[in-house]
Amino acid sequence: MTLSLEVKTHKPPRILIYGPAGLGKSTFGALADSPVFIQTEDGLSAIDVPAFPLAKSYKEVMGYLGELCTKDHAFKTLVIDSVDWLEPLIWSQICSENNVPTIEKAGGGYGKGFTMALDLWREYIMALDYLRDHKNMTIIQIAHAQIKKFENPETESYDRYEIKLHKAAAAKLQEHSDIVLFVNYFVGVTKEDKAFSKDGRKRAVGAGERVLYTQERPAAVAKNRYGLPEEIPFDKNGTYWNVIAGCVPFYNQTQVKEKKHG
């Protein structure tokens, strides 16, 4: 008896990168392999990269995704810039469908509007997965960060960086992503010399270096399924992509195929 086994092929990663404004998140997407941008905010003026016209509605975003799903193209990476600007478009769509002025009043209130919004998030995610599964596209979603109090049942509450989305939407996108990257400036802590400080208090130090954090820590949400280093220098030349590609099986698999055909 012969077992019917399929040869495993690795799929492109689904990456969510977030952090404070102005740290190079859009550049991260632009330096990916053959990218195309779907813009929900006007932030590409200084970056020369293929992009759809600025989307001003949820239907326009889904229309652009539909074009990528159904038409032939050479793009290898889709960049959504950004999901926290996509969220108001989703809320506006829900309000329009239910003839209400705000998302809080949709579905009769009591948070039902946000639950209804999750249905559109799922529709959007299905389109992303189609591009990943059938077009072999890496998916990159960009988001800004917000600081929120985290209620840890094992310790006292503390502030941490989170994705700037409604908590249900943030949880959905985090679960869907293979890699969640938090980018921020590197901040070290040093203790002041008692000769200059009576209490020997600590102070933050740093020289403007930027870092990608790949694993969750008290200060920020992050994760990865590929064994990435905990911290990756986020330099302006994009050498971090070499680190990511070295850990993600899809990229190694793709390189082997290209060498065979070359």
Token pair listed for 131: 């591009």
Instruction: Dump pLDDT digits (tens) for 157-183.
Output: 889 999 999 999 999 999 999 999 999
The pLDDT of 128-142, averaged and rounded, is: 98
Residue type, 175: E
The pLDDT of 59-80, averaged and rounded, is: 98
230 has pLDDT over 70: yes
Burial of 39 per CB tally in 10 Å (0-12, 13-18, 19+)? buried
Sign of the CA dihedral 49, 55, 61, 67?
negative
The pLDDT of 13-41, averaged and rounded, is: 97
Token pair listed for 152: 């840890």
pLDDT of residue 253: 80
CB 86 within 8 A of CB 128: no
Token pair listed for 155: 């310790």
CATH class for the region spanning 14-182+209-261? alpha beta
Query: If you average pLDDT over every residue of the chain, what do you get?
Result: 89
Average the pLDDT over each of 154-158, 200-204, 210-214, 246-250 and give the range with the smallest value: 200-204
The pLDDT of 145-167, averaged and rounded, is: 89
Burial of 35 per CB tally in 10 Å (0-12, 13-18, 19+)? buried
Determine the 3-state secondary structure of 119 from DSSP: helix
Which letter does DSSP use for residue 21 in this model? T
pLDDT of residue 205: 39
The pLDDT of 201-206, averaged and rounded, is: 45
The pTM is what? 0.88
